[in-house]
Amino acid sequence: MKKRITIGDIIIAAVMIAWGFTIFYPFYNTVLTSFMTEAEFLKNPFSFYVKDITFDAYKEILSNNKIPRGFLNSLIIVAGYTPLSVILVSTAGYAMSRKKFPLRNIINNYFVMPMYFSGGIIPLYLLVKNLGMLNSLWPIILLDAMNLYNMILVKNYFYGIPDSLEESARIDGANDIRICFQIYMPLAKPILATILLFCVVNKWNEWYNPLLFITNTKQWPLQLVLREIIGEAAERLETGGISEELLGLETFSQSIKMATVVVTMVPIMCVYPFLQKYFIKGIMIGAVKG
């Protein structure tokens, strides 16, 4: 029974499309601005196309090695963190999904406790300092590699796999390590893919730990480089207006900022289709189960 489209349907669709537009347009405008000349931006900032396309901003950020270096640092962090985290989380998740083994409850509490109580930033800072890891990418890669929330997601997924699989593998002489890697992990591909993508996105977006632990700007991930570039803009607010003050610069600085934003966004845009494929599953397992 196909219902007729009513006025209510149209109003709802219109409201939802309008909301979609308010989300979409700032991104679109950002991309446009990155290709604009200053004159064009000042004349018509709210536009839908660029009349006079210029690649100056991109040329400038590529020739200044700050941004390529930041990009590389971010890539190193993601490439180091993701496999490490996925392995830690899935091995621990497998073990904790076994229903009965000695010390299980104690170990479970051991993992849950830090989610309730943390030391705060100073103790963490001093720890990293004492480990001699200040001004390196190591704390960014290692901290949180054993992500407890992701571990719980994996644990719950493994929990749902029938025990008979484990039992038959055991009869065939497989030990827990083999069962985990060769039987359970291949079966848990959807959740592992979700977690892998979460790892990539979270680390790509990470800025606070690098801000605390890395003072040498050469080691900065892209997010912090971007933050510095935007920060210059924010400080100018005190004197009112950003763009006017920057007249006379060789390349229009607003477009440089927006080009940097675009460069920082591109990797997320690349993984976004995959994220979309998996995240609904991920959030349903994670949130609905609690």
The yes or no reply on residue 261 touching another protein (CB under 8 A) is yes
Residue with tokens 């006079």: 52
Q: How far, in whole angstroms, is CA 112 from its chain's centroid?
A: 23
Q: Give the footprint of another protein on residues 72-91 (CB under 8 A).
A: 88-89, 91
Closest separation in Å from C-beta 176 to another protein: 4
> According to DSSP H, which parts of the chain are helical?
7-34, 38-43, 56-63, 66-97, 104-116, 121-130, 138-142, 148-159, 163-171, 176-178, 185-187, 189-205, 208-213, 222-235, 253-283
Closest separation in Å from C-beta 163 to another protein: 13
The yes or no reply on residue 230 touching another protein (CB under 8 A) is yes
The yes or no reply on residue 284 touching another protein (CB under 8 A) is yes
Comparing CB distances to another protein, the nearer of 5 and 171 is 5
Q: Give the footprint of another protein on residues 132-191 (CB under 8 A).
A: 142-146, 148, 151-153, 155-156, 159, 175-177, 180
The yes or no reply on residue 39 touching another protein (CB under 8 A) is no
The yes or no reply on residue 46 touching another protein (CB under 8 A) is yes
Comparing CB distances to another protein, the nearer of 76 and 233 is 233
Range in contact with another protein (rule: CB under 8 A) among 18-26, 50-58, 74-82, 185-193: 18-26
How many residues bind another protein, per CB under 8 A? 112
Token readout for 195 is: 């977690």
CA dihedral 67, 76, 141, 216 (to 10 degrees): -40
Comparing CB distances to another protein, the nearer of 13 and 79 is 13
- Which value, in Å, is the radius of gyration of the alpha carbons in the chain? 24
Question: Using CB under 8 A, which of 189, 208, 218, 247 touches another protein?
Answer: 208
Question: Using CB under 8 A, which of 13, 62, 79, 249 touches another protein?
Answer: 13
Closest separation in Å from C-beta 195 to another protein: 14
CA-to-CA distance for 177 and 182, rounded, in angstroms? Answer: 8
Q: Which residues of 138-166 are buried (b: 16+ CB within 10 A; e: fewer)?
A: bbbbbbbbebeebbbbbbbbbeeeeeeeb
Residue 130's identity, in one-letter code, is: N
Q: How far apart are the first and last CA of the chain?
A: 37
CA-based torsion, 220, 226, 229, 232: positive or negative: negative
Closest separation in Å from C-beta 259 to another protein: 11
Closest separation in Å from C-beta 197 to another protein: 9
